[in-house]
Structure 1
Amino acid sequence: MTALKIASWNINSVRARIDIVERFLREEQPDILCLQETKVVNDIFPGGIFHQLGYTHQILHGQRMHHGVAIISRIPIREDAESQWRFDWQDNGEARHVGVQLDCGIRLENVYVPAGGDIPDAELNPKFGQKLAFIERMTRWAEQISQPTLLVGDFNIAPLECDVWSHKQLLNVVSHTPIEVEALAGLKAAHDWVDLGRKFVPPPERLYTWWSYRAQDWAASDRGRRLDHMWASPEVAKLATAHKVHEPCRGWLKPSDHVPLVTEFEV
């Protein structure tokens, strides 16, 4: 058996926050880091710094100023030329997904689900409808998965009551509405995914991954939500040995509003 450590982080601009990404990699030493919201085209992705740290394998799917995902690794990763590894679940060309194959046989999928705007009504707010359609396309994809898979990223949905600071106050706030929670439950059931966060931190224990920039003191107010997730095929979930949400990163200099997740496996 070999230890494998995989991290996922919505970095909210990799170039603006490269210092804290470097710090995290030096301190945590994951084998693979999946990034969301990189906000940079591939040509000017700061790949040199990652190379210096030993992360010589880099699969990028960037976009100027918006969205963007990347998988960087110090172990071999590859895209399968015969398969579709960059799904357009948004159906508009946005860079929101990239997938790779690991030598251990696991397929790793990195996704950035749309936030969905501010109004939880598809007629009044087309962005909300696009978010629900995105989840629906992912659900149809998940029904067809035939190999062990790890799905990570910013899902922009906090499904459980204990995934938010106030279930009652957020019921009508995009990211925790019943229609989004139901859609995410459908995606989860489509492949019998195991939610690794809640495998290791069972409800009703508090578990957050995001705190708004609007809070004057994010830690004191602690109005968090669990928007970031790691889901595994049942056979992959059995290999997981530890899971951690790195909350202190939210207090670092020029932080992202999200914090990294790390799961360890024996493969």
Structure 2
Amino acid sequence: MPFTLATWNINSVRLRAGLVEKLLREEAPDVLCLQECKSPVEKIPAEQFAALGYGHMIARGQKGYNGVAILSKLPIEDVGDMDFAGLGHARHIAGRLENGVTIHNFYVPAGGDVPDREANEKFGQKLDYLTEMRDWFHGDRPEKSILVGDLNIAPREDDVWSHKQLLKVVSHTPIEVDHLGQTQEAGRWVDITRQDIPDGQLYSWWSYRAKDWDAADKGRRLDHVWATADISNAGHSSRILRDARGWEQPSDHAPVFATFDL
């Protein structure tokens, strides 16, 4: 039975609960993974989402920062979370559907503004987080799994508006791209979005700083949908809902979708 999954850094689920409702009504993914919820779990407006058919939610939260949640029409079992790099942050949760597919929802640290771990502790934390993700996948290689989330790295040259101008900008530096690549390789993860859309510029994030984000179009593809090699051929119909970036009081991220025939 096919199911459609979406991932979205919502940048405050309580502030933007109306936008989550709009997405659920208009696009109706079977599963929606949210990042940067910025809310304790008990204050996430789960009842609003349940009223739209999303009666299942698993989440990890903290006040004002981070936070991940999975909203689902389908029954889903909470199968835990990991605190990579020992940050004490709510950045990962995993759920298992009744068909045996495990969904990992990640919010990788952004890494601050300076791409130097000596000068910027946050950048070091980001690299350490990715290293521990890599080691985890090496030690416990995932199967029949999907990994989604705001990974805060745009790995390919066509995942950013200007490869040359962003080489020294956090999210596209060679060391970050290398760390993400090692993490992907360790789990034999397949980038489903690029499997479906192999060529051309593709973005899921546009800065709030741009006066006209749409016209300037200086985006980056920070949000990803991966699947393990054993089920990657089941993934299709990938798309990024760019229009959501233009909704009223939007997140600076757009939702990314994929469908799996599993």
TM-score under structure 2 length normalisation: 0.98
Q: Give the Cα–Cα distance (whole angstroms) in 2 for the partners of residues 170 and 147 of structure 1.
A: 34
Q: Give the Cα–Cα distance (whole angstroms) in 2 for the partners of residues 123 and 51 of structure 1.
A: 46
SS of alignment partner, residue 84 of structure 2: coil
Q: Could you tell me how far 1:11 is from its partner in structure 2?
A: 0.2
Which has the larger displacement, 187-196 or 152-161? 187-196
Match of 2:163 among 164, 167, 181: 167
Percent identity among equivalent residues? 49
Specify the alignment match of 2:69 in structure 1.
70
The count of corresponding residues between Structure 1 and Structure 2 is 261
Specify the alignment match of 2:172 in structure 1.
176
Q: Give the Cα–Cα distance (whole angstroms) in 1 for the partners of residues 38 and 133 of structure 2.
A: 22
Q: Give the Cα–Cα distance (whole angstroms) in 2 for the partners of residues 263 and 235 of structure 1.
A: 16
Q: Could you tell me how far 1:145 is from its partner in structure 2?
A: 2.1
Specify the alignment match of 1:26 in structure 2.
25
Q: Could you tell me how far 1:137 is from its partner in structure 2?
A: 0.5
Q: Give the Cα–Cα distance (whole angstroms) in 1 for the partners of residues 12 and 256 of structure 2.
A: 17
Matched, 1:120 2:136: no
Specify the alignment match of 2:197 in structure 1.
201
Equivalent residue runs for 1:31-46 within 5 Å: 31-46=30-45
Equivalent residue runs for 1:92-241 within 5 Å: 92-143=87-138, 144-203=140-199, 205-241=200-236
Specify the alignment match of 1:264 in structure 2.
259
Q: Structure 1: any 5+ residue segments left out of the alignment?
A: none
Q: Could you tell me how far 1:146 is from its partner in structure 2?
A: 4.0
RMSD: 0.8
**Aligned AA (2:115):** P
Q: Give the Cα–Cα distance (whole angstroms) in 2 for the partners of residues 114 and 29 of structure 1.
A: 28
SS of alignment partner, residue 254 of structure 2: coil
Q: Give the Cα–Cα distance (whole angstroms) in 1 for the partners of residues 85 and 91 of structure 2.
A: 8
Q: Deviations over 1:113-167 (max 9, x none)?
A: 0000000000000100000000000001111224211000000000001000001
Q: Deviations over 1:151-187 (max 9, x none)?
A: 0000000000100000111000000000001101111
Specify the alignment match of 1:247 in structure 2.
242
Q: Could you tell me how far 1:18 is from its partner in structure 2?
A: 1.0
Q: Give the Cα–Cα distance (whole angstroms) in 2 for the partners of residues 257 and 147 of structure 1.
A: 32
Which has the larger displacement, 89-98 or 106-115? 89-98
TM-score under structure 1 length normalisation: 0.96
Q: Deviations over 1:243-265 (max 9, x none)?
A: 11000000000100000011111
SS of alignment partner, residue 238 of structure 1: helix
Q: Is the 8 A contact 2:241 2:256 kept in 1?
A: yes
Q: Could you tell me how far 1:21 is from its partner in structure 2?
A: 0.9
Which has the larger displacement, 233-242 or 11-20? 233-242
